[in-house]
Structures are given as C-alpha cells and as structure tokens.
Structure 1
Amino acid sequence: MNDHAWFADAWTALLHGPADGRASQEAARLGARAADQGLHVHELVDGALAAGAAWWNAAHPGTAATAQSRIQDPFGTTRALLSAALTGYAEQTRAELDRHDTQRTAFVNDLLTGRTDPGRLAERAHRYGIRLSAAHTVLVARAEGLTPDIVHRIDAGLAARFGEGNTLTTLRNGDLVCISAGGLRGLSAELAHRLLSELGAGRWQIGVGRTHPGLQGLATSLDEAHNTLEHAGRLGFTTPILNAADLLVFPVLLRDRDAIIDLVTTVLGPLATARGGARPYLDTLAVLFDNHGNYTATARQMHLSVRAVTYRLDRIRALTGYHPAEPTQRFTLDAAVLGARLLDWPTE
C-alpha cells in the first residue's frame, strides 16, 4: 500500500455514505489532511476520480435505493465532494504557507537585529541553510506592488537558480529582503530580472550591501543596503541596482554633519539671495555634474538653451565666487551640491 492509499479508502467510504452537508464537510477535511500530508493536488484529483469510477462501476440497477438515486446523477456527487475537498486543500495550503511566512519573517528579524540567543539562532539558521560564521550579503528591493505571492515566486526562482540554502528571501517592513551567501555572482542581476518580470520597469530599485562575515556582518550589510536606497532617493538616482561599495562617499559626507552643513552654507548659501531662490542654480549644478560638465547635455536635459546654462553658471560665480569650470573649485562645488542634496537644502 502506498503512502497515500488512505485517501482512496477514505474517499470510497465517503461516496458510500449519505450525500448531505456532512459529506461536504468531511470532503473538506480530507482535502486539508491531504495538503497537510504532502499529497499533490493532481494525486488528490486522480484518487478521487478513481474512487468515483470504482463506486460507479459497483452501482447497478436493482441495488439499494440510495445507490439507485445516485445512478440518476452519476457525476454530481463526485463533483460536489471533489470541489469541497479542493477547497479544504487550498485553505490548508494557504494556512501552512502563512505559518511558514510568519516563522521565516520572525527568523529574519531575529537574524538581522541579533536580539536572540546566538545558540538558539544558530539552530534555526541551520533549517534555512545559513551558517552564522560565514560571510553573507544582504540585498533590499524597494518596490511598488510587492505582495507575499510575488516574494514567494522570487524566492523560489532564486533558490532554483543559485541552489537551496544559498538565498533566503522574505518580505520585511514592505521591502523585499534577500540574504545570500557571500560571493554569489549575478544575484543582483537575477533579482532585477525577476522584479522586472513581476512588476515591470521603473517601479523598483535594489540596494546591495557589502559582504561581511558573521552575525554582526548581516546587520551591517542590511544597513548598507537600506542607506544606499535612502541616499539614492535623496539624490534622485534612478539606477535599478545600486551597490553600497559604489556610494561610500555619502556616508563619509554625512559622518560629520556639522562639517557638511558648514560646507553647504558657506559655498552655496549666497544662492538663496538670487531671484527665484537657490533651487534653479542648484539643479543646474547637479545636472551639470551628472553630465560630466557637458553644457550641451545639461541644456538638453533641462530643456534650456546652452546660453541659459552659461548664464546660470556665470551667476553662480558672481554670487558665490565658485565656478565649475575652474579645476580647483569643481570638487568643492561638487561636494557642496552632493551635501545639499543629502540634506535636502534649501528646503531644510
């Protein structure tokens, strides 16, 4: 007898019982039990139909009145009971998935915050293929329209691509968080591909922390991924994948907040006295630096003439004494503009 023979026996007994509301309830219970014991849905349907066929073949004219009444509608009973069983199966599957999600989210929270006993955490980590002493990388994807079902599909896709135990993906505080073994090549590109397939273009952005060893390294990598996305938002970066290693200058700028405030107010402060305020000039400098000092590209992006860009830069020199065409002044201006964007100056 195979592991799932119990289902065929139980279904046969159900078909021979009275066709009433209790039969539907029992069918739903059988469906839930099938899901709980790992019976695949096609095995459930096949077993139910096989039992129904056997029951139909055993029912002949001249049998008991209950069998005779069922013969008048040979598939109605099986169809109704199978529908109830599939409902029970789906509800049990969803409940199990929700329980799994809850446990996984709790584990990831404990893993990334380090608030749980390390010994107990190591036991739980083993279940997910994570070795706390190894090096890991944390990726955070911020997106519109992320749902648990989307995250499930992405998690399964990444596991299939990189192997079970090498990635752990969950939904945390509205963001997709992926913990990966250190050194997985192509992971951020694969995650981007799957987000593109699920959500389309322009609706998501990925921050990739650096690879760090140990339990504390996980929290550090997570912070780097989060900070990368925060900096990108303030600076207006729209690149789909942002690596913390490429943006190390911004934590350096913000490490001494008083110094960066002094730089911004000293270098750019006089722009606040200009007609129309500092914003048009600040935007011009930001776009100019993004375009590597190319006036034509800057004018095209801002929908201005080259003459208008030149006028604004001349006004900046007149007000501040700095001009981006001067090699010794370019770096100071660039750092001041980055600082202003990080501080949201002059709004704040």
Structure 2
Amino acid sequence: MVTGTGKAHLARADRLQKATGALATAAMAAMDDELPWFGQLSAQDRSWIGLVAQSGITAFVDWFRDPEAHSSMPTRMFGSAPREFTRVISLHQTVELLRTTIEMIENTIGDLLPEDDVPVVREAMQRYAREVAFAAATVYAQAAEMRGAWDARLEALVVDSVIRGEADESVRSRASALGWTGTANSEVAVVVGRAPSSDTGGTNVADAVRHVARESGADALCAMQGDRLVVVLGGTSKPVETVQRLTDFFGPGPIVVGPVVPDLMAAVTSARAAVAGLRAAPAWPAAPRPVQADELLPERSLSGDGHARRQLASDVYGPLTLGDGVLLDTVSTYLDSGGSIEATARALFIHPNTVRYRLKRVGDLTGYSPASPRDAFTLRVALTLGRLLNPDPGSSIL
C-alpha cells in the first residue's frame, strides 16, 4: 500500500519525467554555448553525446522514482555510447559535460517543476551526480586498461619482429603507433638482459624503462621474452650511457648492448649480436655491466657465433696480413713470448723499439693493444680464427 508520502513522491517523479525532453534540449544547448570544443566535434559525435545526455536524464528520473530498484543506473547510462566514445573526448571533457548538464538542470527545474519539488530534486541530483562521476571514471579506467593491454601485445610483436629479423615498413608503422618517434635515419641499438623477478611486474617495468629512456632523450620499445628482457633503443648514438640508467630494471646477470645500426629496419643486426653476447657473457665474469656485444667477440666466437668469428677474422686478422706481414709475425711472436718485448726482439732479430713501434701499429689498425691482457686475448683468438678461416694470407677472408 502506497502512503501519502509515497504518492507525493511518485507524483513528483511523474512531473519530472514530463520535463525530460525539455531538460535534454536545454542540456545540449548549454554544452554548445559553454564548451568551445563541443562545437568542433563531428555531427555524429555530438549526436552520441546527446544520446548519452538523454540517457542520463532518463536514468536519473527512473532512479529518482525508485533508487533501490535502479541502483545500477549511473553505471548503465554509458552503455548507449559506442566504444570509441572514450577516444573522442577525454575524461576531463566528460567531467565538463557532467558539470554543465548538472548546472543546467539545477538552473532549469525551477521553471519546469512546482516550487516544492525543486529542493528535493536538487538534493537527489547531487547524490546522483556523484554516482555518475564514479561511473565515468570507471568507464575511462576500463578503456585505458584495454588500450594498455593492446599496446603491450603490439609492443611485444614489434620487438619479436626485430629479434627475428622481420622488421619492415609495417613494423615501423606499429612502432610509431606506440610512440616511437625515430626517423628513417634514427640510430638504433638492441639491449638484452635477464628478466626481473616475477613479483616486479612486467608491465610496470616496461613503463619505467620507456619513461627513463625518454628522460634520456631516447625512444624505447620493451618486451619480456621468456627469461630475458629486450629493449630496443632509438635516437641515441651512445646507448651504453642510456642503459646505465636502466640497469635496475633488469634481473641479475649481464646486460649486453648490441652495436648501433642506422634504423629500425637494420635492428636485427644489433639484436643478433646482443643475443649472442648474452649467451657468451658468462665466459667473462669480469665484464662490465652493461657490456657492448663487440667487447664479447672472443667469447661469442668460442660459443659458436659465426658472425663474431668472421668479424674477428676480417677486422682484426685481415689488416695484419696486409703488406709484408711483419705486423702479423710480430704480434704472433709477442703473444707466444708471454708479452715480453725483449724476447720478441730476440726471436725476430730486431731492436726492442722496433717491436714497440710495430705493436703500436697493431693497436692502431685493429683497435686492440697487445699490451692489454684483455686485448691480447682477443688478438690471440682473432689470429687463431684467421688462420682457420683463411689458411692462405694472400686470399680474402671468407
């Protein structure tokens, strides 16, 4: 049985329902007058917003009539909007729409309803507006979460294409959609290290890597691939300096930086060297962190990396075979003599200063100084590989 108070409330709700058409028309007019960006939207977008406004006003009337029976109305009112609604206007603009509509209703109901109805409706509108604001925030949060999940999958696909050497114009387009600003001539380097522990959260790590790289003036694409973390850096000719700021986001163990290549299309060369370097890095426990893949050439060659073998043979052994081959004989004898200049001079029947001069020439030609233990090891491996790959010094390196 409906009491007198209940009948009065239902009558008030009926009067409010009759005014919904006028309220919706006034809401659209208020948006057009008070929000400059609203008039710049397309007719279709404005019609969708009008539909949401009409739905919201109708939902408010139903909720006002029976709040318990229509408690989900504030959330359901956005169901009439297409999925693209959140891409058309921002959350800030949505709040402006809600504020404009609520202010319009509060200023208009005095002309549409009896004086006794106005305070009750205004109080109800304030309660309802709070629920609508929470509903709007939920809609945008869900949309952002979906976009974040999609972006993460797209980013993983781009990084996988780079690793597998399948980068083409479509990969560049996808990278651009993810915020990659590198031009066709933007230098790129691939970085590979162990993935952080599972409790760190892969998505948060990727966001942090991109943020720090951006602060360093570089682009970054990041993806987890099993137990390794792969970062593609762009727009930087000194990737090691950038990676030094990213080391905390990797798991324990080596971090290998591939060589710099001209653009994203050539990034497979950098990726291949970085992956091979990560596999070979345990053979050099004292390696810096991060370490460049080219610093691991001897370890990479010993672990089966054919590219590293050919690089050592052509870039280190090859130059030493030019001319009369005295540099090759000198450095070979120096290494066999345990790094002794005097022993080398006696073995070659030359003055020690001549040995020093020739060793300096070796360093200038190859970039490796025989006097450095680490460089001497690289030279030893390069000479061994050069002789295996090119038994005849007069022929070209395979």
TM-score, normalising length from structure 1?
A: 0.57
Alignment partner, residue 142 of structure 1: 194
Do residues 240 (structure 1) and 303 (structure 2) align? no
Alignment partner, residue 231 of structure 2: 178
CA apart distance, 1:171: 1.0
Pick from 104, 107, 110 the counterpart of residue 57 of structure 1.
107
Q: State the alpha-carbon separation in 2 of the partners of residues 57 and 134 from structure 1.
A: 57
CA apart distance, 1:151: 0.7
Letter in 1 for 2:268: A
Letter in 1 for 2:78: A
CA apart distance, 1:25: 1.4
CA apart distance, 1:123: 5.6
Q: State the alpha-carbon separation in 2 of the partners of residues 214 and 71 from structure 1.
A: 61
CA apart distance, 1:248: 1.6
Q: State the alpha-carbon separation in 1 of the partners of residues 81 and 286 from structure 2.
A: 54
Alignment partner, residue 213 of structure 2: 158
Letter in 1 for 2:209: I
CA apart distance, 1:129: 4.7
The alignment partner of 1:97 has SS state of helix
Pairing 1:38-57 to 2, within 5 Å after superposition: 39-57=89-107
Alignment partner, residue 169 of structure 1: 221
Pick from 200, 203, 218 the counterpart of residue 267 of structure 2.
218
Deviation track 1:71-92 (CA, whole Å, cap 9, x = no partner) reads 3334210111111111111111
Letter in 2 for 1:169: L
Letter in 1 for 2:237: L
Larger Rg: 1 or 2?
2
CA apart distance, 1:8: 6.8
Q: State the alpha-carbon separation in 2 of the partners of residues 25 and 89 from structure 1.
A: 14
Alignment partner, residue 83 of structure 1: 134
Change (3 A) 1:236 1:85: same
Q: Which has the higher contact order (CA 8 A, sep 6+)?
A: 1
CA apart distance, 1:66: 8.5
Does the Cα contact within 8 Å between 2:258 and 2:294 map onto a contact in 1?
yes
Could you tell me the percent identity over the aligned residues? 15
Letter in 1 for 2:303: L
Does the Cα contact within 8 Å between 2:190 and 2:267 map onto a contact in 1?
yes
Alignment partner, residue 314 of structure 1: none
Q: Which 10-residue stretch deviates more, 67-76 or 93-102?
A: 67-76
Q: State the alpha-carbon separation in 2 of the partners of residues 192 and 256 from structure 1.
A: 26
The alignment partner of 1:193 has SS state of coil
CA apart distance, 1:183: 4.9
Alignment partner, residue 241 of structure 2: 189
Pairing 1:1-348 to 2, within 5 Å after superposition: 2-4=36-38, 6=46, 9=50, 12-17=53-58, 18-19=62-63, 20=70, 21-27=72-78, 30=81, 33-37=84-88, 39-60=89-110, 63=113, 69-115=120-166, 118=168, 120-121=170-171, 124=174, 128-129=180-181, 136-144=188-196, 145-159=200-214, 161-162=216-217, 167-174=219-226, 175-181=228-234, 183-185=236-238, 187-194=239-246, 196=248, 203=252, 205-213=254-262, 217-233=266-282, 235-237=284-286, 239-255=288-304
Structure 2 unmatched runs, 5+: 1-31, 40-45, 64-69, 307-372, 379-398
Q: State the alpha-carbon separation in 1 of the partners of residues 301 and 252 from structure 2.
A: 29
Change (3 A) 1:4 1:194: farther
CA RMSD of aligned residues (A): 4.1
Q: How many residues align?
A: 253
Q: State the alpha-carbon separation in 2 of the partners of residues 112 and 76 from structure 1.
A: 54
